[in-house]
């Protein structure tokens, strides 16, 4: 299998802290076959001297006599603990699991294939804000498919300017901007509870804080497509404006949005 980038859609934590590991030719005692309903076929509970027993794929087991067998190749049952939104490099598929490496690290292990989707963000683009306080204009541009200058011109014609401090704690102006392109925003703000519970499209308020009794935040856009989630963050200083580092973002609340025609 050619290495490919995958995104974690469901977190996975291993239940086996001491995974069975062996080299080619290691003696194995083969026990029960896995009988779950998760579509993970051809796994056998095996033991080898000096280790805790664990699940081994049938492809690496060479049967000898009865329960006796030996390893056709080296194998480790090590699993990789992963969180939603992480990007991994998958290099090998085996009986419903993918061998994955965490990007930028040496950490690797098996992850259930059902918890992953292929990264299809290569064609996703994000409008970058051209003004320090232009995140709301950029967020509207990202949703409506406009450039920042185009959205800024529309905003300025409506009397909306990024440098207007009275708008920095306001939610109505982004609703007005979205309405110019036919998008509909919910009338109220809903508290953020989890990434999974968000609608498929939403304005998110992150970096929420107070100054002199006023609320301030940074606008970003949350999108979900084919089960894959990402955030469009227009901040110009970011190494990547298409974000899946969900653990690093702490949304306060969100506004559900429907695109034109939806």
Q: Look at strands 97-102 and 108-112 and give their pairing.
A: antiparallel
Q: For 43, phi and psi rounded to 5 degrees?
A: -115, 140
The rounded distance, in Å, linking the Cα atoms of 176 and 156 is 12
Retrieve residue 226's tokens: 């084919």
pTM score, whole prediction? 0.61
The rounded distance, in Å, linking the Cα atoms of 46 and 19 is 11
3-state secondary structure of 150: helix
Retrieve residue 249's tokens: 């973002």
Q: Which of 161, 148, 176, 151 is nearest to 255 (CA)?
A: 176
Please check whether residue 201 is in contact with residue 223, taking contact to mean a CB–CB distance below 8 angstroms: yes
The rounded distance, in Å, linking the Cα atoms of 97 and 112 is 4
From first to last of its 262 residues, the chain has per-residue pLDDT tens of 678 888 888 889 999 999 999 999 999 999 999 887 655 678 999 999 999 999 999 999 999 998 999 999 999 999 999 988 788 999 988 888 999 999 878 899 999 988 887 776 556 789 999 999 999 999 999 999 999 999 999 999 999 999 998 888 889 999 999 999 999 999 999 999 999 899 999 999 999 988 888 889 999 999 987 667 889 999 999 888 988 888 889 899 999 999 887 6
């Amino acid at each position: 299998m050619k290495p490919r980038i995958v995104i974690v859609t469901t977190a996975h934590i291993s239940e086996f802290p001491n995974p069975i590991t062996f080299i080619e030719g290691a003696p194995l005692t083969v026990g029960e076959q896995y009988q779950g309903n998760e579509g993970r076929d051809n796994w056998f509970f095996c033991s080898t001297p000096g280790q805790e027993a664990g699940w081994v794929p049938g492809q690496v087991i060479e049967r000898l006599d009865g329960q006796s067998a030996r390893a056709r190749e080296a194998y480790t049952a090590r699993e990789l603990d992963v969180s939603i939104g992480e990007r991994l490099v998958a290099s090998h598929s085996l009986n419903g699991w993918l061998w994955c490496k965490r990007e930028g690290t040496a950490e690797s292990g098996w992850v259930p294939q059902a918890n992953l989707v292929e990264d299809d963000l290569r064609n996703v683009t994000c409008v970058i804000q051209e003004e320090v306080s232009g995140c709301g204009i950029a967020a509207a541009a990202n949703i409506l498919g406009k450039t920042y200058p185009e959205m800024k011109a529309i905003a300025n014609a409506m009397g909306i300017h990024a440098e207007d401090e009275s708008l920095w704690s306001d939610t109505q102006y982004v609703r007005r901007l979205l309405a110019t392109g036919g998008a509909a925003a919910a009338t109220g703000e809903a508290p953020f509870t989890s990434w999974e519970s968000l609608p498929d499209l939403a304005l998110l308020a992150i970096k929420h804080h107070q100054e002199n009794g006023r609320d301030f935040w940074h606008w970003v856009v949350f999108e979900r497509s084919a089960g894959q989630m990402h955030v469009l963050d227009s901040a110009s200083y970011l190494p990547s404006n298409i974000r899946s580092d969900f653990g690093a973002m702490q949304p306060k609340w969100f506004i559900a949005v429907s695109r034109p025609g939806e």
